Amino acid sequence: MEGVEVLFERRGAAGLITLNRPHALNAFGIAAVRAMRPQLAEWANDPSITRVIIRASGERAFAAGGDIRAVYDLHQAGRTEEAIDFWREEYQLNAEIRRYPKPYVSLVEGICMGGGVGLSLHGKYRVAGDKYLFAMPEVSIGFFPDVGATHALPRLSGRLGAFLALTGARLGPGEGAAFGLATHRVPSAQLPSLLEALCLGKDVARTLAAFSVDAEANKLAPRVPLIDRAFAGATVERVLQNLDKEAAGQGEDAAFAKTQAAAIRTKSPTSLKIALEQMRIGATLDFAGAMRTEFRIVNRVARGHDFYEGVRAAIIDKDNQPRWNPASLADVSGAQIAAYFAPLAPPMQELPL
């Protein structure tokens, strides 16, 4: 059904969700969120539906994220509050997926970034196809790792969460499986057969296990000790100092450190400091607390400068020359960052969960 952002189907014992904007890498807007929430609630209360499966049209992307162009356009039209409505309802959907009472299975093929992570990572089962590509690249556009990243990333091993949050690094199926972002690795050619088997109503865990194969080697594994050393820094400035020190050496570690430091230095200074603070406090928060924290942050970011400047540079003008404000890490104070995390004061309202 061309033009419909998300499709729903009852297929055997399964409720099947299909993200349906392949031309836009399945980026989704508030209409998709508002369609998914009541449908999930209906299936939760339907005894004939014993599992929910989410997949995407096309092979390039599961979902590249929320429709940030639409959010940008709303802000330009003076309708920022409507943009905040999108994040409110998206975060509520993320929480509903997290506590869903039936097995929720994501078949992730292609790009899975930003909002796509929120639609998949919090469900019980995440299946990585051959083209699986995970990233949280929000700091590149003056935003921050949201959709539950405040809870999920700090719980990855070592300092991997801080590494992903600050660099926007991309992980393939081998890394996704090794780090627990994917629960199963299934060859892309077998995904249609897996889908049909799941719809037959047999035990979900056993069916997934029957189709799973050993994941590829974790290409990032040799760099994990370096990541744990460098990204243990308590500040972004310290992380960069650590990386610069590593980069002064020889070999693959030095080259990797140089690349990561260079990548970080292109990001929004404010976003970087928000992201590292998320990693610090997120380890102490339950999922609901993390989502409320993200909604506090987004209320401030949506009324600021860097996010819209980042979208302009990456998507509107495509000059890839964002003019961040403040322009340097030194100009972003601890007090400024703390203000992003503070409780919301009227007329802003906390996230209802």
CA dist 145 and 135 (Å) reads 10
Query: What letter would DSSP give residue 170?
Result: -
Residue 66 known to be catalytic: yes
Q: Of these residues, 5, 67, 146, 277, which one is catalytic?
A: 146
Residue 90 known to be catalytic: no
Q: Of these residues, 15, 29, 65, 66, which one is catalytic?
A: 66
CA dist 307 and 69 (Å) reads 11
Q: Of these residues, 15, 65, 114, 115, which one is catalytic?
A: 115
Residue 331 known to be catalytic: no
Residue 118 known to be catalytic: no
CA dist 33 and 85 (Å) reads 11
Cβ atoms of 15 and 52 closer than 8 Å: yes
Run of H or E including 15? strand 14-19
CA dist 154 and 158 (Å) reads 9
* SS3 of 55-85: EECCCCEEECCECHHHHHHHHHCCCHHHHHH
Helix then strand then coil, % of the chain, to nearest 5 = 50, 10, 35
Q: Which residues are catalytic?
A: 66, 115, 138, 146
